[in-house]
Amino acid sequence: MGTSDAVGPTPIRPTRDSRTIHNTWIRRFLAIAAVKILGPFMAKQSVVVFLPMGICVKSGIFTRLSEATTMKFISENTTIPVPKVYCSFIHNGRVYIVMERIQGEMLARVWRTKSEDSRAKILGQLKNIVDQLRAIPHPSDLGIANVDGGPLYDGRLRSEPFGPFDSVQDFHRFLRRGLKREPGYELEIDQMMELQDGPWPSPVLTHADLSSLNILVCGDEVVGILDWETAGWYPSYWEYTTANQVNLRNHFWKDVIDQFLDPMPRELVMDSIRLKHFGDV
């Protein structure tokens, strides 16, 4: 790398707070009581407690109100299957999201048992889901942000929220820790910066963690897209590059990504260089 210092803090927009949903005292009381009383006896997956009557409660240190407002926004503007949000609120500094428990099987667990015809039907539905997300117009008063215009969260980037940013270019400068392009950098870093600083289309609504671990199916039908905590308005390539960041449980997914997302090889190389040299920010 070159020897230049960073150009200082990356510009960000004023933060907009996400709102609670159906936040009444009785809903808060019932949700917290159910988790405390029934939680130890009910099935649990990570930060989600599954309760009777098709209800689950998500509450972890990284759970944010924006995940609930995102699912509500998606349900109101698309036909994408997402959990219905019954309420969301903050109690003792912790976010609670009470939502529908969708009945289905995690795609990662059943993919290898599916026929080629079944796989093709599922991938076709996923392509439609992505197309619906990308068809939602980007609000002119937002840059790179969550659906409410506030900060984003992605544990693969950093443990704390980041942004929002005025532009794609500002987001890119954040990803490379504020460094500006100048002579002295390795060729691949210079080429990465050149592409990052160039013109970009408007941000698109992005799930940002679209893996087989977050997709529920019933037979050949996609019945649920889960875990919207990383979602927001991102550069047009972000869905593709984040989908390619697979873990060991999801390694087979790399072979099918190009069948439901438009391949972006140039952007994938660009982001691979970013991960190689800058990693977490």
Spatial separation of the C-alpha atoms in residues 7 and 244, rounded to whole Å: 30
Q: Give φ, ψ of 217 to 5 degrees.
A: -130, 155
| Bond into 83 cis (ω within 30) | no
The CATH number of the domain covering residues in 25-100: 3.30.200.20
Residue tagged 């959990």 (tokens): 83
Mean pLDDT (whole number) for 249-277: 94
Most distant CA pair in the chain, distance: 62
pLDDT digits (tens, 9 = 90+) for 250-263: 888 999 999 999 99
Please report, rounded to a whole number, the percentage of residues in the chain having pLDDT higher than 90.
79
What are the distances in angstroms from CA 114 to CA 118, 122, 219, 240?
6, 10, 9, 24
**Average pLDDT of the chain, as a whole number:** 91
Residue carrying the six token digits 């929220």 = 161
| Whether CATH 3.90.1200 fits 105-277 | yes
Q: What is the pLDDT of residues 195-248, one digit of tens each?
A: 999 999 999 999 999 999 999 999 999 999 999 999 999 999 999 999 999 887
- Cβ atoms of residues 172 and 197 within 8 Å: yes
Q: Are 213 and 106 in contact (CB under 8 A)?
A: yes
What's residue 7's pLDDT? 46
Inter-axis angle of helices 168-175 and 187-197, nearest 10: 150
Distances (CA, A) of 234 to 113, 198, 263: 34, 16, 17
**pLDDT number for residue 8:** 47
pLDDT at 45: 60
Tokens found for residue 203:
């941000």
96 pairs with which residues across the strands?
89
Which of 106, 14, 92 lies closest to 59, judged by CA?
A: 92
Three state DSSP letters for 225-260: ECCCCCCEEECCCHHHHHHCCCCHHHHHHHHCHHHC
Contact (CB, 8 A) for 30 and 123:
no
pLDDT digits (tens, 9 = 90+) for 49-95: 998 889 999 998 889 999 999 999 999 999 999 999 999 999 999 99
112-139 confidence digits (pLDDT tens): 999 999 999 999 999 999 999 999 999 9
DSSP state for residue 145 in the 8-state scheme = B
Domain ranges for the chain: 25-100, 105-277
Residue 15 CA, distance from chain mean position: 18
pLDDT recorded at residue 1: 43
